[in-house]
């Protein structure tokens, strides 16, 4: 049986990034940019005030202080979004708001906190007292100080996070070219399965894998076509596969163990698929089949609700991310201290569901209780997978262990 690492490298060797498409900016979060982005113009496009205050000529404020205020004549009010009508000349000022373009003639801004009384003279003219000498350029954001026209701002291959989305908006890109999201077909196999809307009949169980798998695909940037429950019948399976193979990847659950009704293994060659992986030395998740059928990767995952998700995290998640053009496809792994005895032991790599916490800057793990591959609660309670190599263990409390982080740990 091959190892987890060997299986992953076989899978990734068959996965290519999808092609790019133009998307509306609002739909580009977490997508990989497929074009270089240069700045068509300066940001900010014009010099403007960084403060609410008065646009002045620095020279007119020389020597100003609270004890010796300098009076300046106020020409007009300048809110953001408008352009001054007047030019600032000797001993004049314009009342300016944050973001308003610097008026012609002015070279600095005195913030409102550094000014005193504004008063109307007898002739109706308004003045302000300046309490603080301005230095040339004070409180002014220069045109192009954030981004220069023509500059390469974002490179192809960048993952678009909220700051990059904001930058693209600032540069005036309503659409950009990104790698399109992969579409996954999800199939649940098993005569015992029922839709969750229906009342449970004797001997039946609810199809939960469809929901956990859909959620996982969405969590890692894909879209989902759910094809429902397929009974353990070859004809039915064959038909549903021909539908599923119109997507970018197919994920099935169940039907890959050694039982009489586990038919997925037989179906793949009949569909002229190439069976590339059959079983992986891991627990849970041993019965995994990976094949390429008509150029489409097919992940046939085990049916147990825990196994299916652990297998997804190990194999489908990296494939989905690679399809999206991402480079960082491994979950973070950390070294942690096991805080309780663990009596599990197996000849395969054991991925034990654990709670990871950071206490005093140290990662600590404890088990989430019984580890059976059907005990979904072991995953519900967990935020990490402790990696125990084959035949290692039982492990004593205090042992250093390797942990794959599924979610952000709590910090204490
Ligand atoms: P199988 O691999 O088909 O033998 O399934 C292994 C175990 O997982 C059996 O106990 C199945 O009933 C269960 N199982 C399979 N598919 C699902 C599913 N979609 N939802 C919940 N349990 C499932
Ligand atoms: Mg089954």
pLDDT band, very low/low/confident/very high, at 120 (cuts 50, 70, 90): confident
H helices, E strands: number in the chain: 8, 27
pLDDT at site 121: 83
Interval between CA 259 and ligand 1 midpoint (Å)? 12
- Token pair listed for 182: 């992969």
Half-sphere exposure of 139 (CA within 13 A, CB side): 26
Residue 132 to residue 110: CA distance in whole angstroms? 7
3-state secondary structure of 396: coil
Residue 196: CB within 6 Å of ligand 1? no
3-state secondary structure of 101: strand
- Token pair listed for 288: 């995994």
Number of residues that this document lists for the chain: 412
pLDDT band, very low/low/confident/very high, at 30 (cuts 50, 70, 90): very high
DSSP state of 312: I
Other Cβ atoms less than 10 A from the Cβ of 41: the count is: 15
pLDDT at site 139: 98
Interval between CA 200 and ligand 2 midpoint (Å)? 17
Which atom of ligand 1 lies nearest, measured to the CA of 189?
16
Q: Is residue 96 a contact partner of residue 79, using CB atoms and an 8 Å limit? A: no
Residue 254: CB within 6 Å of ligand 1? yes
| Closest C-alpha residue for ligand 1 atom 5 | 303
Residue 221: CB within 6 Å of ligand 1? no
Residue 53: CB within 6 Å of ligand 1? no
Encode pLDDT of 235-285 as tens digits: 999 999 999 999 999 999 999 998 888 899 999 999 999 999 999 999 999
Q: Which ligand is nearest to the CA of 188?
A: 1
pLDDT band, very low/low/confident/very high, at 118 (cuts 50, 70, 90): confident
pLDDT at site 262: 87
């Amino acid at each position: 049986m091959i190892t987890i690492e060997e299986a992953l490298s076989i899978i990734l060797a068959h996965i290519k990034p999808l092609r790019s498409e133009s998307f509306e900016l609002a739909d580009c979060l977490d997508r990989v940019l497929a074009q270089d982005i240069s700045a068509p113009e300066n940001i900010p496009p014009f010099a403007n005030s960084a403060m609410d205050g008065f646009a002045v000529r620095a020279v007119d404020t020389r020597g100003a202080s609270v004890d010796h205020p300098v009076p300046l004549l106020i020409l007009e009010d300048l809110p953001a979004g408008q352009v001054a009508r007047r030019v600032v000349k000797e001993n004049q000022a314009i009342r300016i708001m944050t973001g308003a373009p610097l008026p012609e003639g002015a070279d600095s801004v005195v913030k409102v906190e550094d000014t005193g009384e504004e008063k109307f003279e007898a002739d109706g003219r308004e003045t302000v007292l300046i309490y603080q000498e301005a230095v040339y350029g004070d409180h002014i954001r220069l045109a192009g100080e954030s981004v220069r026209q023509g500059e390469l701002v974002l490179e192809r291959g960048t993952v678009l996070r909220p700051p990059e989305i904001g930058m693209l908006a600032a540069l005036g890109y309503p659409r950009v070219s990104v790698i399109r999201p992969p579409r996954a077909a999800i199939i649940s196999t098993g005569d015992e399965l029922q839709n969750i809307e229906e009342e449970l009949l004797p001997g039946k169980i609810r199809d939960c894998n469809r929901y956990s798998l859909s959620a996982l695909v969405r969590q890692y940037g894909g879209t989902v076509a759910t094809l429902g429950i397929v009974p353990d019948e070859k004809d039915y399976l064959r038909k549903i596969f021909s539908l599923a193979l119109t997507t970018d990847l197919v994920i099935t659950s169940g039907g890959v163990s050694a039982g009489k009704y586990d038919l997925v293994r037989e179906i793949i060659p009949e569909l002229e698929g190439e069976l590339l992986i059959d079983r992986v030395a891991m627990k849970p998740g041993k019965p995994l089949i990976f094949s390429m059928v008509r150029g489409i990767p097919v992940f046939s995952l085990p049916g147990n609700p825990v196994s299916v998700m652990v297998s997804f995290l190990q194999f489908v998640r990296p494939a989905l991310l690679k399809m999206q053009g991402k480079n960082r496809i491994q979950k973070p792994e950390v070294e942690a201290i096991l805080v309780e005895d663990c009596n599990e032991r197996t000849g395969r790599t054991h991925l034990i569901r654990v709670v990871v916490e950071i206490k005093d800057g140290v990662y600590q793990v404890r088990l989430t209780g019984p580890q059976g591959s059907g005990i979904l609660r072991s995953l519900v309670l967990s935020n990490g997978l402790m990696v125990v190599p084959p035949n290692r263990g039982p492990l004593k409390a205090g042992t250093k262990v390797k942990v794959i982080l599924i979610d952000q740990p709590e910090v204490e």
